[in-house]
Amino acid sequence: MKTNSIIEQKTSEWIDIRRDIHAHPELRFEEIRTARIVADKLRAFGIEVTEGVGKTGVVGVLRGDKTPVTENVRAIGLRADMDALPIQEKNLFAHASTLKGKMHACGHDGHVAMLLGAAEVLASQKHLLAGNVVFIFQPAEEGGAGAQRMIEDGLFTRFPVDAVFAMHNWPGLPVGTFAVRKGPMMASSNEFELTVRGKGAHAAMPNLGIDPVPIACQIVLAFQQLISRVRAPLDPAVISVTQISAGEAINVIPESATLAGTVRTFKDETLNSLEAQMGKIAHHICASFGAQSDFVFKRNYPSLINDAESTEFICQVLEELEGVEAVYDDLDPTMGAEDFAFMLKVKPGSYVWLGNGDGDHRSAGHGLGPCTLHNPSYDFNDGVLSLGVSAWVALSQRFLKS
């Protein structure tokens, strides 16, 4: 049967899977039910399955019938993330979350369904493939670095690939369009915590203590000066101090003040320099007033950098795909982060956004908020599910053409 007819026939089944996963969201590294659905489906399609890769990750390997007998079998990796978020869903439609405080608010339910759909189509047409398709269902994208965990668990040594691709739905991007760019597309995500240790005193006798509050305030401003005066203006970077805490009583100068926040950059050099400068500023401003600083900096996700060749390849495939209205390759990158970046650090590949539309698709009973990522009124657009499947299928078939 032709690819398009299979997709047409099967789309409603895939939508049911997507809605079932949406109704049963699981947080990072708890994707037991989701992983079981994935593994069962892949097996039913005749795909080799390995479970428990990176704790709750699942990997499926489909071997094409036209694969030449050689040591270096060509292979493509396709990745979907499976985890939900700790958000109370505001939607009341039939497939809304059945679990309090957990929700698929980033569309990973849709990503799982699209990759399962692609697995089903590709398995039914494996006579066309001269190589392997490796289906990577990863846990814990939302702050758990599940991609890194899978890599540490031997993902690419146990299941080698020549390139790896990922697709994420993107609200606001019109239905029927994709967006991707060469080079940096999403920022590195890092966090810091700084404690300013002063000396407590009576609020009316500040000279008897070392007040950590004005010291902390000076540090907040000096951090912003790093962005405006030290960083090169054309090299994007953000420092946001998002938490300040000090003091318990109005008439007491506290012992200490704590600042915490996030740092985003595209370049490693910029990150290295900001981390070092922030530590220096904290130390010297504290020292000049007789206080001490404890500065802790933690790197979470690296910046996501799309390899040029893979990005050109996926653009070509998408541009020729039926139903695609536009492939934007010049959208601005975002300072948001994505742990697929870990995979792109070790393998060439590309990460692409699939237009999720502006929210009109939502079933009756949806929350009144916008249909943006991580919003309690969000829902994945089932109307783009089949396009996502065709994109995965076309990409794999082109990549593994004999």
Q: Which spans of this chain sit near Zn ion (rule: CB under 5 A)?
A: 106
Which residue, 106 or 291, has its beta carbon nearer to Zn ion?
A: 106
Which residue, 106 or 391, has its beta carbon nearer to Zn ion?
A: 106
CA-CA distance, 358 to 308, in Å (whole number)?
A: 29
- Find the residue with minimal CB distance to Zn ion: 106
The separation between CA 74 and the C-alpha centre of its own chain, rounded to angstroms, equals 26
Beta-sheet strands, E only, within 106-153: 132-138
Are 376 and 25 spatial neighbours (Cβ–Cβ below 8 Å)?
no
Which residue, 164 or 291, has its beta carbon nearer to Zn ion?
A: 164
Both tokens of residue 70?
Answer: 């050689």
In a 13 Å sphere around the CA of 153, the CA atoms on its Cβ side amount to 19
Both tokens of residue 65?
Answer: 């019938």
CA-CA distance, 52 to 59, in Å (whole number)?
A: 9
- Residue 199 is classified by DSSP as B
Which residue, 53 or 103, has its beta carbon nearer to Zn ion?
A: 103
Q: How far is the CB of 289 from Zn ion (least distance, A)?
A: 40
CA-CA distance, 162 to 150, in Å (whole number)?
A: 17
Q: How far is the CB of 198 from Zn ion (least distance, A)?
A: 38
Q: How far is the CB of 30 from Zn ion (least distance, A)?
A: 16
Which residue, 375 or 397, has its beta carbon nearer to Zn ion?
A: 375
CA-CA distance, 161 to 76, in Å (whole number)?
A: 5
Which residue, 223 or 353, has its beta carbon nearer to Zn ion?
A: 353
Q: How far is the CB of 105 from Zn ion (least distance, A)?
A: 7
Q: How far is the CB of 111 from Zn ion (least distance, A)?
A: 8
Q: How far is the CB of 82 from Zn ion (least distance, A)?
A: 10
> Cβ of 121: how many Cβ atoms within 10 Å?
21
